[in-house]
């Protein structure tokens, strides 16, 4: 960490849609601390390991959905336990999850999620999920399709975004390709709504590293609004085609979107996200330089309360200052940290649901008594 990094000047970056870094604060911090070459290596390695990390979340979601359906999770437990849901970095109380998914996405939905390495513009990773009445019923990973050539653009799918420079055009190409590929396969779920979720790796990694559910709700809004609100070249996140309720949320203000989804997903309370042991182990082994300044630092500096996340100010015309520091500012007040929750490092990333609500006053004391439950899922 004491070495001088030569390739960490944002102004020197020349790749397409580099602005994604500015709405991905954890990833931007990695870039400033360790440089662009380090970030490239991190992204390449993450693309290879992401399947393992997401498999754990999907397996748990599948198990919890089955347990809820079979009424094997007590109602009182479902009210105080959190779990992740699509796109796997948003979280929800287990008793609210099915209803929220139906509200956001509908009763029967086929999701194809595609991640683009925004540093190279390569498409290398994706997965499909089917949700029925808010319950995850099937999932599988897309592995070899990115090597296959599309009949219209005559190049491998992994290069489609680099060709089009358009997430909408790329999404259409992928959707058509997958539709043609599946025409001879099963007809099950043919009446389901099909949507492709396209997200940049900068944003996805940032959200996996973020501990606050309220911060992630804000990042979700940011990603959808990078072109319309922040005036970036391209959106960082899209659902194509989009869903009416999701569209209404992202067209509202950032404050309104966070407040609405915070109520629907967590009862307006702060949840601290789980980062699975496998991902922590990967970071410590292969990218130890980011463990302390990114993950441990969050617990030292403190995690904002819901009200702070909603009321933080973002200077749209100047997301960084002359020193290339992010300019987002939070209201003053007590943050959630390792001291006031009395946590050991071994407990930092297991996930928590708290009673720290949107109405939590700045001068209120935070203590271990604010923790309602520990761990994500059953």
**How many C-alpha atoms does 136 have within 13 Å on its Cβ side?**
23
Please state whether the predicted TM-score (pTM) of the whole model is above 0.85: yes
Examine residue 1 and state whether it is found in any structural domain, yes or no. Answer: no
Token code pair at residue 110: 């086929």
Residues 234, 199: Cα–Cα separation, whole Å: 11
Report whether 181 contacts 145 (CB < 8 A).
yes
Task: Let me know the angle formed at the C-alpha of 46 by 22 and 66, rounded to the nearest 5 degrees.
Answer: 105
Examine residue 4 and state whether it is found in any structural domain, yes or no. Answer: no
Q: Return the pLDDT at 151.
A: 87
Q: Model confidence at 185, in pLDDT bands (50, 70, 90)?
A: low
| Count: domains in the chain | 1
Residues 145, 122: Cα–Cα separation, whole Å: 13
Token code pair at residue 256: 């309104």
Q: How far is the CA of 24 from the CAs of 48, 104, 156, 207, 338, in angstroms?
A: 21, 24, 29, 8, 23
Q: Return the pLDDT at 124.
A: 85
Burial degree of 322 (CB within 10 A; 0-12, 13-18, 19+): exposed
The pLDDT mean for the chain works out to: 93
* Highest-pLDDT range among 13-22, 135-144, 171-180, 191-200: 13-22
Q: Look-up: residue for tokens 């601290």? A: 272
Residues 280, 343: Cα–Cα separation, whole Å: 17
- Reference 276, options 13, 88, 105, 121; nearest CA is 88
> What is the percent of the chain with per-residue pLDDT over 90, rounded to a whole number?
84
Q: Is the peptide bond before 87 cis (omega within 30 degrees of 0)?
A: yes
Residue 363 has pLDDT above 70, yes or no: yes
Compute the average pLDDT of residues 1-10: 74
Q: How far is the CA of 325 from the CAs of 14, 18, 165, 210, in angstroms?
A: 18, 15, 28, 19
Examine residue 2 and state whether it is found in any structural domain, yes or no. Answer: no
CB atoms within 10 A of CB 152: 11
Q: Which domain holds residue 345?
A: 10-374
Examine residue 5 and state whether it is found in any structural domain, yes or no. Answer: no
Q: What is the length of the chain?
A: 378
Structure confidence by residue, pLDDT tens digits, 41-66: 999 999 999 999 999 999 999 998 88
Examine residue 268 and state whether it is found in any structural domain, yes or no. Answer: yes
Burial degree of 144 (CB within 10 A; 0-12, 13-18, 19+): exposed
Residue 309 has pLDDT above 70, yes or no: yes
Q: Which residues of 241-256 are buried (b: 16+ CB within 10 A; e: fewer)?
A: eebebbeebbeeebee
Lowest mean pLDDT among 183-187, 288-292, 306-310, 338-342: 183-187
Q: Return the pLDDT at 189.
A: 53
Examine residue 240 and state whether it is found in any structural domain, yes or no. Answer: yes
Residue 1 has pLDDT above 80, yes or no: no
């Amino acid at each position: 960490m004491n070495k001088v990094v030569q390739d960490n000047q944002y102004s020197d970056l020349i790749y397409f849609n580099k602005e994604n870094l500015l709405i991905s604060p954890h990833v931007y911090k990695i870039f400033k601390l360790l440089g662009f070459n380090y970030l490239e290596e991190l992204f390449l390695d993450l693309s290879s390991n992401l399947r393992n990390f997401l498999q754990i979340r999907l397996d748990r979601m599948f198990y919890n959905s089955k347990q809820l359906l079979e009424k094997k999770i007590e109602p009182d437990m479902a009210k105080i336990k959190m779990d992740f849901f699509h796109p796997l970095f948003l979280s929800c109380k287990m008793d609210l999850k099915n209803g929220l998914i139906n509200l956001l996405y509908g009763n029967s939905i086929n999701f194809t999620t595609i991640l683009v390495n925004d540093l190279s513009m390569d498409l290398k990773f994706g997965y499909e999920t089917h949700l029925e009445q808010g319950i995850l019923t099937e999932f599988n990973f897309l592995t070899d399709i990115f090597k296959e050539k599309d009949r219209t653009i005559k190049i491998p799918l992994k290069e489609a975004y680099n060709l089009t420079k358009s997430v909408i055009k790329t999404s259409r190409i992928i959707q058509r390709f997958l539709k043609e590929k599946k025409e001879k396969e099963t007809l099950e779920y043919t009446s389901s709504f099909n949507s492709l979720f396209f997200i940049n790796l900068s944003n996805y990694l940032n959200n996996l590293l973020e501990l606050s559910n309220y911060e992630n709700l804000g990042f979700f809004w940011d990603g959808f609004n990078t072109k319309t609100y922040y005036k970036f070249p391209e959106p960082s996140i899209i659902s194509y085609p989009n869903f009416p309720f999701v569209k209404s949320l992202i067209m509202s203000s950032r404050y309104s979107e966070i407040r609405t989804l915070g109520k629907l997903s967590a009862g307006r309370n702060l949840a601290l996200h789980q980062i699975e042991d496998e991902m922590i182990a990967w970071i410590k082994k292969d990218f130890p330089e980011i463990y302390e300044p990114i993950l441990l630092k969050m617990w030292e500096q403190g995690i904002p309360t819901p009200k702070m996340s909603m009321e933080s100010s973002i200077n749209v015309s100047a997301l960084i200052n002359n020193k290339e520091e992010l300019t987002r500012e939070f209201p003053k007040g007590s943050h959630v940290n390792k001291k006031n929750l009395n946590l050991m490092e071994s407990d930092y990333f297991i996930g928590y649901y708290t009673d720290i609500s949107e109405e939590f006053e700045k001068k209120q004391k935070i203590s271990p008594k604010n923790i309602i439950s520990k761990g994500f899922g059953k």
